[in-house]
Amino acid sequence: MVQKVLTAKRNISFFKIKTKNTGSLRDILLYINSLVWDDMYTSKSFDDERVFLRDLKEKDGFVFWVMSWMRMNGIPKKGKMWDKNLTDIWLKFDEWITETTHFLYSPSREILLIEYNHYWPRFWTLEWHLNDRANNNAEWWIDEVELQPILNYEILEKIDDLKEIKSFTFSIPKTHIGNFPKEDNSIFSAFFNSYQFWDTWEITVTLKAEKRSRKPILQNADELKNELEKIWYEIWKNFNEFKVRALSKSENKVKVYDFLQDKFKTEITVVKLWKSREIDEDDIFNKMKDSFNTNKDELHKLTQYE
């Protein structure tokens, strides 16, 4: 009997790479790949979680890598057919539960394609790991490696179109709230400064008017617009959701503005491995490469590469 091929959908996001040193991302990746033992990891949560990179292949002008996130906590239970009892999954002291995210790097364009993995790790994990590991090299000092989302159009045009704010919803992982300075006097500061009181990994807040009320929660959107203009990149970098329902100046109607929708991204179908969340690495490499080549003209226009 022919075994059915299992597939999964994967969103691919595109990023510009900015480094504030003389080296390239290629140099940084090669250095990190040379690290061994504990030096290869970035650790968090008292060593209960670790991140590392693994190189796979270089072909046709592309470099293909995998970012792995290992954890020794939050391990699920194991079940058995016709048995209602659950048992622990026992791992050895040097064994971890691991999730992977694949990324494709074009050195000629300094563009990175990153797979979205719902179960982690995300693009900010890669940015954090690159900065943490590369700055341990005594031979150089990297001020910052920054992954900037490539956008479909100018974000300021969308912000400027806001008139009366009816409601807005934002969602942010608790670990990312600390990325905003506590002394910040923005409209978000009171919320960010009290996040430690919630025992949850992600916090979602919706602000809206009373039920059946037609009044906007913010008559003049200028204050919110000013804040968005100052922190729009941080929103993309840290938030999982950021939606504003507002009266449009240009269309004179109420509409929802999704401020995380402007990332340039594509969707691909990839082959899954049997009984696993893992996917076929050769297949996703080829699909990501095809996605880049199919959209290279649009990427050229959006990033203004010469």
Q: Is residue 135 part of a domain?
A: yes
Q: Is residue 274 part of a domain?
A: yes
Residues with Cβ within 8 Å of residue 131, at least 6 apart in sequence: 142, 144, 145
pLDDT category of residue 264 using cuts at 50, 70 and 90: confident
Whether residue 93 has pLDDT greater than 60? yes
Whether residue 306 has pLDDT greater than 50? no
Domain that includes residue 249, residue range: 155-258
Q: Is residue 2 part of a domain?
A: no
Shared domain for 141 and 39, answered yes or no, is yes
The pLDDT of residue 89 is 84
What total number of domains does the chain contain? Answer: 2
Shared domain for 43 and 121, answered yes or no, is yes
pLDDT category of residue 136 using cuts at 50, 70 and 90: low
Q: Is residue 248 part of a domain?
A: yes
Q: Is residue 74 part of a domain?
A: yes
Shared domain for 123 and 168, answered yes or no, is no
The pLDDT of residue 114 is 92
The strand pair at 42-44 and 202-208 is best described as unpaired
The pLDDT of residue 104 is 92
Whether residue 27 has pLDDT greater than 50? yes
Contact 104, 111 (CB under 8 A): no
Q: Which residue has the higher pLDDT, 182 or 131?
A: 131
Shared domain for 134 and 28, answered yes or no, is yes
Shared domain for 146 and 223, answered yes or no, is no
Backbone angles phi, psi at 27, to 5 degrees: -60, -40
Shared domain for 168 and 35, answered yes or no, is no
**DSSP reduced 3-state for 302:** helix
Sheet strands (E) in 20-161: 42-44, 49-59, 62-71, 77-80, 83-88, 97-106, 111-115, 145-149
Lowest-pLDDT choice from 145-154, 197-206, 287-296: 197-206
Shared domain for 17 and 105, answered yes or no, is yes
The DSSP call for residue 275 is T
Shared domain for 144 and 275, answered yes or no, is yes
- H or E element at residue 189: helix 189-192
Q: Is residue 1 part of a domain?
A: no
Shared domain for 142 and 165, answered yes or no, is no
Q: Is residue 226 part of a domain?
A: yes
Shared domain for 27 and 98, answered yes or no, is yes
Rg of the chain, C-alpha, whole Å: 22
Amino acid identity, position 45: S
Q: What is the pTM of this model?
A: 0.70
Whether residue 41 has pLDDT greater than 60? yes
Q: Is residue 124 part of a domain?
A: yes
Shared domain for 101 and 243, answered yes or no, is no
Shared domain for 267 and 132, answered yes or no, is yes
pLDDT category of residue 289 using cuts at 50, 70 and 90: very high
